[in-house]
Structure 1
Amino acid sequence: MYKQNFKIILSFLFILLSNFIFSQKKFTIVLDAGHGGSDHGANRSYNDIGRVAEKDITLAIVLKLGNMLEKNKDFKVIYTRKIDEYPSLSDRTNLANRSKADLFVSVHCNASGRSGPYGTETYVQGPDQNDTNLEVAKRENDVIYLDEKDKQTFGSYDPSSPESLIALKLQQSKYLESSLLLGGFVENNFVNKDKRFSRGVFQKNLHVLRMNAMPSVLIETGFINHPEESHYLASDKGQEEIASSIYDAIISYKKAVDRKSGGSIAIKKPEPEKPTELPLKNDFRILLMSSPMKFNDGDPALKGLNYILQIKENGQYKYYYGVTNMASVRDINLKTAKDAGFRNAFAVGFMPNQKLSTGYYTIELHAGEKLNGNSPILLAYKNAERNKENGVFYYTYGKVYTLEDAVKLQKEIEAKGIKNTVIQKVYK
């Protein structure tokens, strides 16, 4: 009798212990050091520090970050790579999904065709808000051609088709809020802890994030082709600070998740299906500000935001951020603008393909000094109109009647190498 009772007690204790261990499931994080092996990523050579390769910087940061996380008993860390090798994008995402990870963090370095841009950016998966400034997406997605497995996995996906975008939005909607939360913590730490310049948190269609069944972020830790920032990225001090800021962001994120779930992340209740969001009749852009001054892409006045559309009207340059016909994305864009510092920003509706009844759109090619006959602008557009106001010469080209046609014309002009043009609304 005594032995039987003892066995019952042991069985009961074993069940309690098992439940306790299960409830204490560690928070699993997959750390992905971007690129690697034959894929060097972005790289530059400098006289004083030699060649700086993205794959080396990302691995150094990830190893430092992983070491910090492994010292915390609450975390389990899984690496997509710990040496100089190239796991395919499929391998990286399959590893994260197979591990049932709670978080996926991919670390990268940014690059630009110009040496001027600098600062950090964090990306979460989502439909592109605009089809401008695609350098990041092109660079990070193009590596699928390094691996045959990736070609098969991603080759059939068409990011430009409405069906793919709808499927993408449905697939990622349940992780978007959490991904944005972590992205915000990361960028805030870069600014407040490391005193760096943050370009913001953005949605972008990136393959390494798209296939993940968990909140995921891709962090661009700085521009490798910026002379000063590249030195910071290559330094042990810079890598340590970046890793520390990401670590603190993960800690803040986990605390927020624990508060929301009552302290347990082991048992994830299935979320009720949300009704499919229907498109709105209007397109919405976020008006950031109006100014008599013209600001080009990358100007500090734009506070690191991309996807900016300038429309000149009655001598004022109006700066609009993003474009969408989905209410949820519109609200996210508005919050992003306000978080960036545009506290008075608000959403403005545009009727698609609406013709101007009292005027037309033209493209302002240049505003400033008088151009000479050898100017690339005048060589490309000999019939450009010239006006002079208050000592400033304005050169404009074209006449269209919808904003969509104006955007199309502007892209055709920029494809010829003429940058920083502005859409201008002209009243009859």
Structure 2
Amino acid sequence: MYKPNFKTILAFLLIFFTSFTFAQKKFTVVLDAGHGGSDNGANRNYSDLGLVQEKHVTLGIVLKLGAMLEKNKEFKVIYTRKIDEYPSLTDRTNTANRSKADLFISVHVNSSPSRSATARGTETFVQGPAQNRENLEVAKQENSVIYLDEKDKETFASYDASSPESLIALKLQQSKYLENSLIVGSFVEGNFEKSGRFSRGVKQENLHILRRSAMPSILIETGFVNNYEDAAFLNSEKGQMETAENIYKAIIDYKKAVDRKTGAQIVTKKPEPEKPAEVALKNDFRILLMTMPVKYNDGDPELKGLNYILPIKENGLYKYYYGVTNMASVKDINLKTAKDAGFRNSYAVGFMPNQKLSIGYYNIEVYVGKDKLSANSYILQTLKDVDRNKSNGMFYYTYGKVYTLEDAVKLQKELEDKGIKNTVIQKNFK
């Protein structure tokens, strides 16, 4: 019988443990220092601190955080930027998605809408439906950078964060990451609070940079630039180091939690290739439910319980469209919803975003009836330059003149905000 000697056993063990080490999948963290280059982000000039700029604070924190992680052999760190430059939001999220990262962290500095210094503290955002008007201000501020880059304009500009279709897409894309995003976010805010910072908590909001990241993702607002104490803290080496340490500890705790839940991440076989992320379509798609000579208002039984209906009047006929999206998967969901509701002959119609009519214009039909509106009616008292026409014994009142469907929808919303409801967008070919 063969008896292996000590050297043979040692060699075998060395090969085994070396293979085990290489089989370990490193935990990949993408660190995103918000803004940069021509995009200064939030900033405030103080007599003693000088100009405090978000782009410099975020880079300082991220570089310190990255250095801590790089000392730990269990982590692989990828930066969206390491210098004062501006990568587009598309570039940032593509970097994270292509690296198949385990965690995406975007670091920012907050600013309250007014120049008041009363707002203070940290808050961490995860992707999700808006929670309140205050969060909306953060979303507007962070999402506004799409207008700085042509690639971002094309990728993000047609996305309406408040539309139900976008929330469906959001649910499909982000639900499996939301729980873990909330966990790491709570660790971050918990550490800030323990170190003496005022924590505003973990919140959900529709943020483009999180929406496009196919992994657990958080956006950390490390303080308010227009609060002197926050600004002084974040502008200092000590403050940036303490902030980085708190985030680092949160990442460590999060990885431990993931490892406990999923077990050791050992690669035993070649992973199956991931399906590519869904790419937005060039056109927006609406589902045409029916074309009728009759006008139906919201809640009418003929609409079979569907909401978010957009009637568009063309050549005296009302076309009823359901939903709008530029994602193929959501388009299919909307079409199935329409057919399940009873609109068996419904189909998807493509609309080129922001396309101007070559002939004609859009206006808003604000009233149709057998009786003429009195001079003291709410519509005529509220709006100026309302046009009136009479046809086949019916009075038609219309308002405005715009040349894209998006502008018509916006104008209709403005009228609704003024209390003028059940209006219809009308397409005029003259």
Indicate the SS of the match to 1:134: helix
Pairwise CA RMSD of aligned residues?
3.1
Tell me what 1:332 maps to. Answer: none
Residue 189 of structure 2 is aligned to residue 176 of structure 1: no
Q: Tell me the distance in 1 between the aligned counterparts of 2:72 and 2:217.
A: 21
Deviations 1:387-422 (A, max 9, x none): xxxxxxxxxxxxxxxxxxxxx9xx99xxxxxxxxxx
1:160 aligned partner, one-letter code: S
Is 1:142 aligned to 2:144, yes or no? Answer: yes
Count residues in correspondence.
270
Q: 1:189 to 1:265 in 2, by over 3 A?
A: farther
1:151–1:256: structure 2 CA closer, same or farther, 3 Å change rule?
same
The residue that corresponds to 2:40 in the other structure is 40
Q: In structure 2, do the counterparts of structure 1 residues 151 and 118 end up closer, same or farther at CA, with 3 Å as the change threshold?
A: same
The residue type paired with residue 253 of structure 1 is: Y
Alignment TM-score, normalising by the size of structure 1: 0.58
Q: Please give the alpha-carbon distance, in whole angstroms, between the structure 2 residues aligned to 1:184 and 1:173.
A: 17
Question: Following superposition of structure 1 onto structure 2, how do residues 109-120 of structure 1 map, counting pairs within 5 Å?
Answer: 109-112=109-112, 113=114, 114-120=116-122
Runs of 5+ unmatched residues, structure 2: 1-8, 274-413, 419-430
Deviation of the 1:133 alpha carbon? 4.0
Aligned residues of 2:135 and 2:205 also touching (Cα < 8 A): no
Cα offset, 1:163, TM superposition: 1.0
Q: Distance in 1 between matches of 2:155 and 2:18?
A: 39
- Structure 1 contact 127–169 (Cα < 8 Å) conserved: no
Change (3 A) 1:239 1:67: same
* 1:155 Cα deviation after fit: 1.8
1:66 alignment partner AA: G
Deviates more, 1:57-66 or 1:130-139: 130-139
1:162 counterpart = 2:155 = no
Q: What's 1:93 paired with?
A: 93
Judge conservation of contact 2:106–2:218 (CA < 8 Å) in 1.
Answer: yes
Q: Shift of residue 167 of structure 1?
A: 1.2
Separation in structure 1 between the aligned mates of residue 109 and residue 81 of structure 2, nearest angstrom? 17
- Counterpart for residue 423 of structure 1: none
Q: Shift in Å at residue 134 of structure 1?
A: 1.4
1-side partners of 2:158 and 2:18: how far apart? 44
Deviation at 1:130, TM superposition (A): 3.6
The correspondence of residues 121-132 of structure 1 with structure 2, limited to 5 A, is 121-132=123-134
Counterparts of 1:17-32 in structure 2 under 5 Å?
A: 20-32=20-32
Distance 1:92 1:57, change over 3 A: same
Matched, 1:197 2:198: yes
**Pairwise CA distance, 1:76:** 0.4
Q: Which residue of structure 2 lines up, in the alignment, with residue 51 of structure 1? A: 51
Pairing 1:243–2:244 present: yes
Percent identity reads 70
Given the superposition, is the C-alpha separation of residues 88 and 157 from structure 1 closer, same or farther in structure 2, using an over 3 Å criterion?
same
Label 1:265 to 1:20 Cα distance change in 2 as closer, same or farther (>3 A).
closer
Q: Please give the alpha-carbon distance, in whole angstroms, between the structure 2 residues aligned to 1:144 and 1:13.
A: 54
In 1, Cα distance between equivalents of 2:240 and 2:185: 18
Match of 1:227 in 2: 228
Distance in structure 2 (CA, Å) of the matches to 1:249 and 1:138: 27
Alignment CA distance shift 1:262-1:153 (3 Å) = same
Q: How does 1:267-416 map to 2 (within 5 A)?
A: none
**Residues 243-298 of structure 1: CA deviation (Å, up to 9, x unaligned):** 0000000000000000001122757899xxxxxxxxxxxxxxxxxxxxxxxxxxxx
Measure, in 1, the Cα distance between the counterparts of 2:162 and 2:176.
Answer: 22
Runs of 4+ residues deviating >4 angstroms: 12-19, 265-270
Q: In 2, distance between residues paired with 1:17 and 1:269?
A: 25
Deviation at 1:23, TM superposition (A): 3.2
Cα pair distance change 1:202/1:17, threshold 3 Å: same
- Asked if the contact 1:221–1:242 (Cα under 8 Å) also holds between the matched residues in 2, the reply is yes
Amino acid at match of 2:196: K
The CA distance in 1 between the partners of 2:28 and 2:228, in whole Å, is: 36
Q: What does residue range 8-23 of structure 1 map to in structure 2 within 5 Å?
A: 20-23=20-23
| Superposed displacement of residue 115, structure 1 | 1.4
The answer as to whether partners of 1:179 and 1:217 remain within 8 angstroms in 2 is yes
Change (3 A) 1:265 1:142: farther
SS in 1 for 2:123: strand
Aligned to 2:406: none
- Give the TM-score taking structure 2 as reference length: 0.58
How far the C-alpha of 1:16 sits from its partner, in A, is 5.5
* Match of residue 337 from structure 1: none
Distance 2:54 2:167 in 1: 30
Equivalent AA in structure 1 for residue 250 of structure 2: A
- Whole-Å separation in 2 of the counterparts to 1:93 and 1:226: 30
Q: In the superposition, relative to structure 1, how do residues 74 and 91 fare at CA in structure 2: closer, same or farther (>3 Å)? A: same
Which of these two proteins has the greater Rg computed from alpha carbons? 2
| CA 1:110–1:265: 2 relative to 1, 3 Å | farther
CA distance in 2, matches of 1:49, 1:181: 35
Encode CA deviations 1:147-203: one digit per residue, 9 max, x unaligned. Answer: 0000111122121221111110121000000000000000000001x2111001001
- AA aligned opposite 1:30: V
